[in-house]
Each structure stands twice: as structure tokens, then as C-alpha cells.
Amino acid sequence: MLKTFPKGGVHPAEGKYSANSAIEVLPLPKQVSIPISQHIGAPSKPIVAKGDKVKVGDKIAESTGFVSANIHSSVSGTVVKVDNVLDSAGYKRPCVIIDVEGDEWNESIDKSTDLKKEISLSDKEIINKINESGIVGLGGATFPSHVKLSVPDGKKIDVLIINGVECEPYLTSDHRLMLEKAEEMLIGIQILMKALSVNLALIGIENNKPDAISHLQNLVKDYPGIEVHALKVQYPQGGEKQLIKALINREVPSGGLPLDVGAVVHNVGTAYAVYEAVQKNKPLFERVVTVTGKSVHKPSNFMVRIGTPVADLIDTAGGLPEDTGKVINGGPMMGKSINSLDVPIVKGASGILIMPTEMAKRKTESTCIRCAKCVSVCPQGLEPYLLNRLAQLEKNDKLENGGVMDCIECGSCAYTCPAGLPLLDYIRLGKSRVSQIIRSRKQ
Amino acid sequence: MSATILFTIISLSAIGAIAAIILYFVAQKFKVYEDPRIDQVEEILPAANCGGCGYPGCRGFAEALVKADDLSPFYCPVGGNETMAQAADILGKAVEEKDPQVAVIRCSGSPAHRERINSYDGASSCAISSSLYSGETGCQYGCLGLGDCVDVCDFDAIYMDQETGLPVVIDDKCTACGACVKACPNIIIELRKKNKKDRKIFVSCINQDKGGVAKKACSVACIGCSKCFKVCPYDAITMDNFLAYIDPNKCKLCRKCVAECPTNAILEINFPPKKVKEEKADTPKEEAPKAETKETNENETK
């Protein structure tokens, strides 16, 4: 019996077309636009100006607080300007725009591919290094990693959980990383264990990646304290709370953090980035991005420099198919469609999904038939049909009592709704209203 | 038989009488004194319960009025000065006249002016659309056209114009309760002074992009050229983030800025068509405007 979370969940068609495409290094773009806010928390402050020469790995924007992250140049060249550029939601956000000239790396970066197993830094130094390297959660939430590693006084962490679930259909970036960079990733996990001073790390992987599971199971024999667990294929297995419940059977309290149950969760991509930063002195300026879809000519996984326009990735993957309804940043469940292909790849971008018109269409809305399917699939045990209605009626106090703040926005309810109601859209709206109220109450 | 009926009537009447006496004393004991003026004031309020005054319904507003020493911070936008004067009479307090206001839509981006570059198929709500992305056009500031303002209006004073895809305020019905101002996620709607004959001059755009970017997204956008700012004799216009704003309290409706605007972003509404020497004496200081005839945008927004 495979481990899984006990409540709800759905199983959409997997569509992992790019699972067998090895990670390719994407050719350098002509120009990159690197947003100064690619993480949750305070936007960084640009420290370069027009005309400055930068090398790969040079810091171009400084973190402005504890919950913030440094940003490094992903290319070498000249800064054209610091200006507003469209982000994936179509709003203009400040970016550092750099013209690419050659590929000259900062001297301090170790460009060799040799495996470096010895961890020479102390736990404090590791956290500093991760902070300095601008590492954020690469699973998509982009929460600055050093914050998760700085355990507040009085909290005791006893287990590190590594998220290799990749429960979003279509995406394969973490899958490929686990196959191709497994040793680096495992050393990264050891570094994270040292930083947290824990002796146990559990890697959770959905059972639809048997090659990654067996590959890692062979390798972990040399890495004491690290275990690999196969998990049932069930969305949202990769949700932080669901993964903790599935692996160690602990429940994160409402409004609480994994810290409260003695666990810290990091993504496999983050573990790899930590290895690169700590062992090779390489800040986070590139990541693996899947470009996929039913109609894509060459579904691929690319190692992409941050700031590369989405159009470059799609061109390399065989160009935009003629019948394209939506281009989605992320997976089909939680991703959002973008309205311009000039949008730059950011730290949190795990995939670009191209949907044909027919598949991209929303279901026609009808009325709720009270079938309670949404209730049975909600992994958080909420009543989406009710929250949806309360949000429409702006009954904010009832929404709060109904646990709207516990919603993880996985979209299982909207996926399963036979009436095609945009449940998540309204719940998310209600959630943002309630969170504003809660914030104003605290002031 | 008759004895049973008699007995029933007597016993029930006795119970009734005892209950009445108990209830009388309980009512006396727990009597809540309520200022009778609250009822009187509530009587004259419009009973729209729209919340435009900032209180939960007309009753709440009446209570607040009765309690207050000074009526100047209070205003019922629906009833207007007349209602406020009546309320002041009842309460024996003084109240100042306030300028009546009306909602204006600060966006003229109809499909003819503002090209649709993508299509939105999500939930039909401006609030949701704006939380997901910037909208169907290249302008991230403008009207999303999904009608949240129409839904919240209690007075049927806004409708969506099918042709322009923009909301239209019916000035006679608008009570300036401000519900639409709060509902609009892009804060396009503004309450402005209702001048004589409902004449209005305002910048019908809130795009804060640089001129070129704004113009590319919408041909009637404010491009921040500052021409109106320079021409205004009353310092009513301020420029901020490539956007002009006309202060309704300083504007004397001279219409100089309207002719100056290169993108027709400044609208003049309810003015007679411009002709030389025919300007009304609304703005006595001003000489008659130049003969530069510019079409009144009346049809577009009214």
C-alpha cells in the first residue's frame, strides 16, 4: 500500500510527454529581463545602473529584508536599463534588462562538473551562503529558502522532507533533475540536513516515476539518513501539508507552518540549487523548465537562464503550434495563462504548457447541483461549494469560520465540478478579502 | 356540557389575565429608553440602506446623527442637502450645505480605441479578473468591462454599454453612494462635484504608463504631455506618473484643457456645443474660447 494523504484529491490525466527528454542547455538569449521581485516577500533593490558591465553570477539586486532574496545576473553583458516589463500576469514590474555579450562567469564560481562531496561550511555559514546566493523555493512558491532554514528559538525540527512528487500533470523538470543530477541533489540534501541539524531526510516521489525512485534508492545507500518513499499518484500529493501527512502522518494545524510539527519541506530543485551554491559557489541564475503540451513538436526540459523570454524556449521546442488556445506558466492545475510570449522566465517557473484551443476552454457554467463532489475531493476538508457562494455574497465572517484561509488553492474542486463552476476563482477572491481583514485586525 | 365550556372559558381567561399582568411588569422592568428622535430622523431618511453614508443602513445613520454634537462629518448622499436640512431641523442642530456629487467613469477605452489582445474566459467578475491578470487589453489600468459596478449599484444608475463595453452612469439616478467606487478593482470610478446643469470636465483615463506605451495600448489614453497642465489658468490640474488629474474643487469649467488634449482624453459633458461668442456666463472671467471646434464627447459617455 503506497503512502498518500487521507482526504480528497483527484487524478487528472498525467500527460508527461517530456519525461524522456534529457535536460538540454538552452542557447543564450540576446537579451534578458530579470525581474527584481521573483520571490514572496519584499522586492529586491537593484544595485546596477544603465551601462554597467556584469558577469554571470554578479549580484544585480540586493535583498531588502529577512523575507527577501538577492538576485544575480544570469548572463554577461551590459545593463541596458532598469525599467518596467510585463510580468506573467500582464502587469508591468521593474526589471533589470541586460544585453548579452559572450558568456563570462564571475571568477569565484567553480564551473567544473566534478562532484564535491565534502561539506566544509558550518550550519550558520551554509544558511548565509544560501541567503547570499538568492535561493528560493523552486517548486513554485518561491519562498526564500534561508527563512525556512532559520528555525526560530523554541521550535525543534526532527525531519527534513524533500518534495520530488511533481504531482502537477505534464511537468517533468523535477523528474529529470532527479534522474540526471541525483548525486548533486543528495549532497544538497545533506547540506540542508546539516543546516537544520537533523538526521533524517525523506524524499517523497509519486509512483509514476519508477525510474527516479529506483535510481535514488540505489544511490541513497551511500547517504545515511536519507530515505526514498514512493507515493500514490494523487493530486495534490506535492502540497506541503499533504506531503507531511503522507510521509510522517503529522497534521499541520490550521494557520500553522510545517515548523509547528517539526518538519521542513524543500523541493528537489531547491536541493540541487543549494548544492551548486554551497559547493560550487554558484548563485541561483538558471533552472530547469519543462516546455510541453499535447501539440508541442518537441516536448523538452531546458536548463534556462533566469530572464530568458518564454518565446525562446518555445522556439527551441519546435515553435508555437498553430492551434494554441493558451500558453500556461506552470502546470494545468495551478498554473496561470500568460498573455505575451515576451514574459521572462523567473525563479519560480517550473514549466511552460501549451494547450490547444479545445483543451484550454473552460467548461460552460451551470448551476450547482449539490452533488458534493467538491467536498469529497478537497484535500483540506473544506466545503468549496459553500465557500464559493459565501465569497460571492461577501459574507467574510462566515468565510473565515468556514476555513477559507486553509484553502491551498489546488483547484481540485473546480476540476471535478460537473457544473463547471469557477469555484476556485471565487474562493481565492474570498480568501484574499479575508486575509486583508485578518491583517487589518492585527494592526 | 355547558359547565365544561364555562369552566374552560374561565380558566383560559384567568391564565390570560395573569400572563398579561406579569408581562406588564416585565415590560416596565426591562424597558429600554430610545430617543424618539431616532425614529423621526429615520422616517425622513431615504430608506435605501445603501451604506453610502458609512453606517450600516439608515437606522444606524439616524442613531449616529442623534448622538452627534456636530453634524458636519455626516452626509446622506442619497437624500442630499434637503434630507440633511430636515434632519438638522428635527435635531435642532445646524448643517452646512454640501456639493452634490456624481460618479464618473474615468476610462474611454472602447474596443474602437483600445484593442483586445487576448480573451478572458474566467469567472465574470472584475475582481477575479484583476486578481488573475491585467485584462484583455494592453492597458493594465483601464476598465475590465465585467460589470462589478453594475452589480453593486442599488439604484440601477449604471449599465454596461454593449457597444463600448464600458459602464455608463445615469446621472439622474446616481446618488453618489460610492458603492461602485469600492467595487471597481482598478479604481476607475470617481465621485466628482455635480456642477450646475451637471456639467463636468474630467480626465477620462487613469493610465500611469509613459506616453508612448499608453498611446500604443489605447488611442484615447492620457499620455502625460502636460499640455492641459500648462494651459489651466486655475492650477486645477496636477501631473503625477504621466497622468493628469483635474481637481473638481478648483476647476472652473473654462474648457481650455479640453481643446488642448491631443488624445481627447479630457471629456466635457453636458456643455452646449462650442461656438464663438456663445459661451454662457458660467465663467465670467474667461474670454470666449478659441474657435477651435471640437466635438463634444457627450454622445460617447452620456
A residues 393..432 contacting B (CB < 8 A): 422, 425-426, 428-429, 432
C-alpha cell at A5: 494523504
Q: Are A90 and B133 in contact (CB < 8 Å)?
A: yes
Do A123 and A183 belong to one domain? yes
Contact B35, B66 (CB under 8 A): yes
Question: What integer pLDDT is reported at residue B276 of this predicted model?
Answer: 55
CA atoms of A229 and B159, how far apart (whole Å): 58
Full-model pTM: 0.85
Altogether, the residues listed in chain A come to a count of 443
Q: Are B140 and A361 in contact (CB < 8 Å)?
A: no
Chain B CB contacts of A428 below 8 Å: 128, 131
CA–CA min distance B112, chain A (Å): 20
C-alpha cell at A332: 494545468
Do A413 and A268 belong to one domain? no
CA–CA min distance B9, chain A (Å): 50
Do A354 and A421 belong to one domain? no
Do A345 and A383 belong to one domain? no
Does the CB of A362 have a partner CB in chain B at under 8 Å? yes
Domain assignment of residue A430, yes or no: yes
Domain parsing of chain B, residue ranges: 36-91, 101-301
Question: What integer pLDDT is reported at residue B97 of this predicted model?
Answer: 85
Chains A, B: CB contacts under 8 A, how many? 41
Q: Which of B117, B118, B148 to mutate to test the interface with A (most CBs of A within 10 A)?
A: B118
Q: Cα angle at B71 between B68 and B73, to 5 degrees? A: 100
Q: Which of these, A98, A97, A99, A95, lies nearest to A37 by C-alpha position? A: A95
Do A331 and A403 belong to one domain? no
Q: Are A432 and B131 in contact (CB < 8 Å)?
A: yes
Residues whose CB falls within 8 Å of the CB of residue A15, separated by 6 or more in sequence, listed in order: A169, A170, A292, A294, A332
Domain assignment of residue A56, yes or no: no
Do A430 and A312 belong to one domain? no
Nearest by CB: A90 against B122, B123, B134: B134
Residue B186 sits at φ, ψ, to 5 deg, of -95, 0
Q: Are B133 and A89 in contact (CB < 8 Å)?
A: yes
Q: Report the domain count for chain A.
A: 2
Which residue, of A361, A381, A399, is where some domain finishes? Answer: A361
CA–CA min distance B139, chain A (Å): 9
Chain B CB contacts of A362 below 8 Å: 121-122
Which residue, of A341, A361, A381, is where some domain finishes? Answer: A361
Q: Are A91 and B125 in contact (CB < 8 Å)?
A: no
Nearest by CB: B133 against A336, A429, A432: A336
Domain assignment of residue A351, yes or no: yes
CA–CA min distance B22, chain A (Å): 39
Give ipTM to 2 decimals.
0.87
Do A240 and A307 belong to one domain? yes
CA–CA min distance B137, chain A (Å): 10
Query: Helices marked H in B30-56 — which ranges?
Result: 36-44
Do A179 and A316 belong to one domain? yes
CA–CA min distance B128, chain A (Å): 6
Do A399 and A332 belong to one domain? no
Domain assignment of residue A366, yes or no: no
Residue A224: how many CA atoms within 13 Å on its side-chain side? 3
Q: Which domain holds residue A418?
A: 373-442
**Tens-binned pLDDT, residue by residue, of chain A (443 aa):** 789 999 999 999 999 999 999 999 999 999 999 999 999 999 999 999 999 999 999 999 999 999 999 999 999 999 999 988 888 888 889 999 999 999 999 999 998 888 888 888 999 999 999 999 999 999 888 999 999 999 988 889 999 999 999 999 999 999 999 999 999 999 999 999 999 999 999 999 999 999 999 999 999 999 999 999 999 999 999 999 999 999 999 999 998 999 999 999 999 999 999 999 999 999 999 999 999 999 999 999 999 999 999 999 999 999 999 999 999 999 999 999 998 899 999 999 999 999 999 988 888 899 999 999 999 999 999 999 999 999 999 999 999 999 999 999 999 999 999 999 999 999 999 999 999 999 999 88
CA atoms of A71 and B13, how far apart (whole Å): 87
Question: What integer pLDDT is reported at residue B107 of this predicted model?
Answer: 94
Question: What integer pLDDT is reported at residue A88 of this predicted model?
Answer: 86
Query: Helices marked H in B133-285 — which ranges?
Result: 148-152, 179-183, 211-217, 227-231, 256-260
Domain range B36-91, CATH architecture? Orthogonal Bundle (1.10)
Q: Which of B120, B125, B126, B139 to mutate to test the interface with A (most CBs of A within 10 A)?
A: B125
Do A413 and A336 belong to one domain? no
